[in-house]
Amino acid sequence: MIAILKPGVTDKQRENLCDWFRSMGLEVHVSQGQFHCIIGLIGDTSKVDISLLESLSIVESVKRISEPFKNANRKFHAQDSVIDVGGGLRIGGGHFEVIAGPCSVESEEQMVGVGRRILAAGGRLLRGGAFKPRTSPYDFQGLHGEGLGILSRAKAMTGQPIVTEIMNINDLPLFEDVDVIQVGARNMQNFDLLKELGRTRKPVLIKRGLANTLKELLMSAEYVMAGGNENVILCERGIRTFETYTRNTLDLSAIPVLHELTHLPVIADPSHGTGKASLVLPMALAAVAAGADGLMIEVHPDPEHALSDGAQSLTPDQFDDLMARVSKVREAVLS
């Protein structure tokens, strides 16, 4: 349920009302807009007498929110959320960032070398998987703790905040120096993992599951937010459809749909979304035109010899070109 207050309500009046809600056992979220204050209520709102609430002189209107996602709902929080992703960088509400790097962390030389090239092109966050969710147990599984150590050293050398995937909550202590924790598509509905990440205050990047609806993605965000961690970024990375030419089908309509439904930032990953390096550039541009708050792009110094996802990885030169064109599309859509 949300209560929209009239303009000019004093802090004391608002706090008295919030205390009354809290006395009914409700969780209260206050979102102060330019003109209106919105009070979001979570819990058993059946005890709230709507007509009594509507009759209060400071209340403009009261609405029940039918969607099961509350914290993530734009009705709760009209303005875009802006997430601080480390190194003074932010994503959302007009702040656009590109997260790039290899699929897997392979060596320090690889990460530092590619990180520098990515940064020079304007990719200010560095990614690389240390724990890899591979379809086959015989494929490269990642360097685990050693990979996280390499990411930390790369961060120290290039200054880029780092983004990497967690697969098992027991590994969380190893993620101390990680700036953005990624929950991969295969773990989007690992609810225990999401609950634990809700207890941290680190930004969590949640990728859409291979066969999950947008509402399910929002419910996953809700798991993290319900624990008190509001630092959530959503990522459209393609879903499984009957089309097999591309690795997945990048659902670009997810970007404006999610922007309608939620205040959380939405980024797109055309690398996993297409599975083919030649398709990454056009789909990255299309995602930017559709309003993405950022991109995740796989870049490898030598894609042919990558230990994972070489076919969809761009070379640093191709990434330079992508970044130049992304800037042009952003200028065009923002003007």
Of the listed pieces 46-54, 119-127, 197-205, 308-316, which binds Mn ion according to CB under 5 A? 308-316
C-alpha span between 1 and 126 (Å, rounded): 39
Q: Which ranges of the chain does DSSP label H, i.e. alpha helix?
A: 11-23, 50-55, 108-121, 144-158, 191-199, 214-226, 254-261, 270-274, 277-289, 316-334
Q: Which two tokens stand for residue 211?
A: 């066969």
Between 20 and 140, CB nearer to Mn ion: 140
228 φ/ψ sector (left φ>0, alpha ψ -120 to 50, else beta): left
- Does residue 237 touch ligand PEP according to CB under 6 A? yes
DSSP class per residue in 156-180 = HHH---EEEEE--GGGGGGGTT-SE
- Does residue 133 touch ligand PEP according to CB under 6 A? yes
- Does residue 167 touch Mn ion according to CB under 5 A? no
Q: Count residues contacting Mn ion (CB under 5 A)?
A: 2
- Does residue 103 touch Mn ion according to CB under 5 A? yes
Between 184 and 316, CB nearer to ligand PEP: 184
Residue with the CB atom nearest ligand PEP in the bound state: 184
| Residue of 5, 39, 91, 103 interacting with ligand PEP (CB under 6 A) | 103
Query: Do 1 and 65 form a contact (C-beta atoms < 8 A)?
Result: yes
- Does residue 124 touch ligand PEP according to CB under 6 A? no
Q: Which two tokens stand for residue 226?
A: 């319900």
Considering CB distances under 5 to 8 angstroms, the limit depending on partner class, which of ligand PEP, Mn ion, none binds residue 184? ligand PEP
Tell how strand 204-207 and strand 232-236 pair up. parallel
Minimum CB distance to ligand PEP, residue 334 (Å)? 27
Of the listed pieces 49-57, 205-213, 234-242, 301-309, which binds Mn ion according to CB under 5 A? 301-309
Q: Count residues contacting ligand PEP (CB under 6 A)?
A: 9
Binding string, residues 184-223; x marks residues near ligand PEP by CB under 6 A = xxx--------------------x----------------
- Does residue 269 touch Mn ion according to CB under 5 A? no
Pick from 31, 77, 122, 83: which is nearest to 235 by CA? Answer: 83
